[in-house]
Structure 1
Amino acid sequence: MPRRIRYDAWSPADGRVSRPGGVRSWTSPWCEPGFVIDDLVASWAATTPRGSWIEVSTQAPDDGTWHSLGRWASGRRPAHRTSIGGDPEVDTDVWRPTGGADAYRLRVALHPSPAGRAPTLTRIGAVVSSGAVRATTSRPAGVERLLDVPRLSQMRWSEVGGTGWCSPTAVSMVLAHLGRLPPGTDTEPADVPAAAHAVFDRAYDGTGNWSFNTAWAASVADRAFVTRLHDLRDAEAFLEAGIPLVASLAYGPGALPGAPTRATDGHLLVIRGFTAAGDVVANDPAAPSERSVRRTYDRAGFERAWLDGAGGLVYVIHRDDQVLPALVRGEVR
């Protein structure tokens, strides 16, 4: 079956508000993507006053179970920010319904602080997909396109955990490109350790939770969400619109020549452009120094590491005045 991808998003006005157990809860309309869903990744924008938090869940028709996709609160060390284990259908930030699902809805429980200050939901969405990724290399657009994305190496902070900070470092590079990266200090203009603390998932014990990274980015940029793309031709359309992408990869030993890591079961970097031949120009945060962050990767090798490794998953972080390509957006309200 051809690969099917759809992203939908809602504002609070689109859903229904209730108070089960005394906690205010927002529920989206049912979304029917037009195919049987293999997996779902949610992303959101929410403001959480200190001590408050939200819990995001999803449900399929004829399924009485709400599947928790995580509890989110902003800040460096919020007690409630964590993914939830124990559900065989949820892998940290991905819901994979047993037997698939032909529709879904999302729910957000808005838990107030002990002082009664409630969180505010601004936007929530999800990308769903189905079918196998493409097996052949996409044909390049044939146009060189490079965006000026500042370089940051996670390895600068290797002694304090930076070796595992690829995702917040990649997000920080895109935020810096937008002029939205929170300021650091005189000696460290980019506060990557603060970014890592802002996305840390206690249950996962790391900073790679896709939904948490875009939730943090959405708190400082105009828009940020997780989606999937079919191939690098889709990615070229975002770059043409002036939007760099954070892409998730996984690859075996030696499968991505020129990469600073020989192999990885999960890594994120920034796609900042393409050569005229279609090769990928990236900012790879795993590089040993900021000077060596910029890398050019063979198109075929990169596409395999991205599609086979993470199903073409990307973070899209952009300003309101940047028009998104009409690719897999579904109904973005």
Structure 2
Amino acid sequence: MSRPVTTRRTLLAASVAVAATAAATALPSAAHGAGRAAPEGGSHGGGGSSVAYASWTSAADWHGGLGRGTRVDHGRRPGLAIGTPAGTLPYRDPHGGTTTERWEYATWTSPRRALRHPARQLIASWNARTPEGTWLRVEAQGTYSDGTESPWYTLGVWTSGDGPDVPRRTSVDDQGDGRSTVWTDTLAVTEDGTRITAFRLRATLLRAPGVHATPTLWRLGAMTSDVPDRFEVPPTAPGEAAGVELPVPSYSQNIHEGRYPEYDNGGEAWCSPTSSQMIIESWGRLPDPEDYAWVNPEYDDPQVCHAARYTYDYRYEGCGNWPFNAAYAATYDDLQGVVTRLDTLHDAERLVRAGIPLITSQSFLEEELDGAGYGTAGHLMTVVGFTRDGDVIANDPASDSNAEVRRVYRRRQFENIWLRTKRYDAKGKVRSGTGGVCYLYFPARPSAVQRRALASVGIR
């Protein structure tokens, strides 16, 4: 298709909700999608929500975990860094980014987080800085409802750069124990009737021997969820953001078609990094021109090419890895990024009213979203406001020019394609939706109004 293409990540969206109810119907781990799991356990929805987000961000948080070789950086933005390394460990980059095979390391393991609402999925996200020669690995371990534990699953090998001194950013395939597995960046329960009742996260900070720089981890968190299977979600009336539209730049992914096909076949698949770049710039952050000096000077909006390159997942072979996009956003000064789910369009309105736009993941047939002009098995776009009638104002990168990016989508259609977990494809086959997945980017020091809005959806 000419707009958001059906990629391996797109197909993952269709597999996760199905896997949650019957493992036999799940797609194999080689099939990934732009959207996936669902809400979980109660922080922003009270007892009726299945969405929970937990994070570690403060000096007290870092001191409360188990560190081996780490130190806590106090100050404006407390973080974890390598102190005296715990030792060295092997890692051979399967994607040929570096020939270094042993790395100094330090680890930090979070306290076990019990869930108010047992979960079928977990998506971790993180914010970090990785100077040259440094990188990090994020892992998760779930406790099942029978008290046993999953393996430690790798949810990302990540670095902000891609030079010859660090491994390539990558997800890891072929992880599982017969009860759960990992699809790109989502830990998903595949055994019918089983749930995750608690979890731990582990971050490993690494650097090449002889390098004195250290990664710094500022935020580590995870969204857990168990959204019910549903083809339809209840309609909502216009809320508090009716008539509010935020100033967000408009960038088209389609103008980049054919450019840099080594990054997910070029701009036709760049909905996620294009959306990310729009929201990053809405907060006044821009890459330095020297950062994208590698881009052909004849290309418009070179910062979009830059975003695609630095969100690219070499295993998934795409730019749509959700946590990698959030981590990319957080490489900009004093900006944070998280991946979570929202329960209703009213949650999105509360954020927009506070000045926080969001990036949403959805799948739909062309006739299900009037004015889009395309159908997709997985696509990211930005929600930047609401009309006075409550319809959604979206900057949709699947447009043929920057001038056409701003769209108005009917409220009822948009909320259903975004929040549902089940849908029919063009052949009438049951697939799944993302159940409200979104990225939220916001300042390291949000205003009081923004803090309240974030807290209302479980983000601190």
Q: TM (normalized to structure 1)?
A: 0.93
| Secondary structure of the corresponding residue to residue 384 of structure 2 | strand
Describe how 1:1-333 pairs up with structure 2 within 5 A.
Answer: 2-11=48-57, 12-18=62-68, 22=88, 23-61=105-143, 62-63=148-149, 65-76=151-162, 79-88=167-176, 89-98=181-190, 99-116=194-211, 117-132=213-228, 135-141=233-239, 143-160=242-259, 161-184=266-289, 188=300, 190-220=302-332, 221-260=334-373, 262-308=374-420, 309-319=433-443, 320-322=445-447, 323-324=450-451, 325=453, 326-329=455-458, 332=460
Give me the whole-angstrom Cα distance separating, in 1, the residues matched to 2:325 and 2:301.
Answer: 20
Asked whether the 8 Å contact 2:134–2:215 carries over to 1, the reply is yes
Give me the whole-angstrom Cα distance separating, in 2, the residues matched to 1:204 and 1:178.
Answer: 29
How far 1:312 moved relative to its partner? 0.5
Asked whether the 8 Å contact 1:43–1:125 carries over to 2, the reply is yes
Q: Which runs of 5+ in 2 are unaligned?
A: 1-46, 70-85, 89-104, 260-265, 421-432
Q: Which residue of 1 aligns with 2:19?
A: none
Give me the whole-angstrom Cα distance separating, in 2, the residues matched to 1:270 and 1:83.
Answer: 24
Give me the whole-angstrom Cα distance separating, in 1, the residues matched to 2:49 and 2:365.
Answer: 23
How far 1:127 moved relative to its partner? 0.9
Greater Cα shift, 265-274 or 126-135? 126-135
Asked whether the 8 Å contact 2:366–2:372 carries over to 1, the reply is no
Greater Cα shift, 18-27 or 190-199? 18-27
Give me the whole-angstrom Cα distance separating, in 1, the residues matched to 2:381 and 2:248.
Answer: 12
Asked whether the 8 Å contact 2:358–2:438 carries over to 1, the reply is yes
Larger radius of gyration: 2
Number of aligned residue pairs: 330
Asked whether the 8 Å contact 1:37–1:129 carries over to 2, the reply is yes
Asked whether the 8 Å contact 1:2–1:131 carries over to 2, the reply is no
Deviations 1:79-106 (A, max 9, x none): 3310000014111011113421111010
Amino acid at match of 2:436: G
Deviations 1:256-307 (A, max 9, x none): 11114x2111111110000111110000011000000000001111112111
How far 1:64 moved relative to its partner? 5.3
How far 1:43 moved relative to its partner? 0.8
How far 1:114 moved relative to its partner? 3.8
Give me the whole-angstrom Cα distance separating, in 1, the residues matched to 2:116 and 2:271.
Answer: 34
Give me the whole-angstrom Cα distance separating, in 2, the residues matched to 1:291 and 1:179.
Answer: 20
Give me the whole-angstrom Cα distance separating, in 2, the residues matched to 1:190 and 1:151.
Answer: 14
How far 1:219 moved relative to its partner? 1.1
Give me the whole-angstrom Cα distance separating, in 2, the residues matched to 1:258 and 1:183.
Answer: 35
Q: TM (normalized to structure 2)?
A: 0.68
CA separation of 1:153 and 1:315: change in aligned 2, threshold 3 A:
same
Moved segments of 4+, more than 6 Å = none
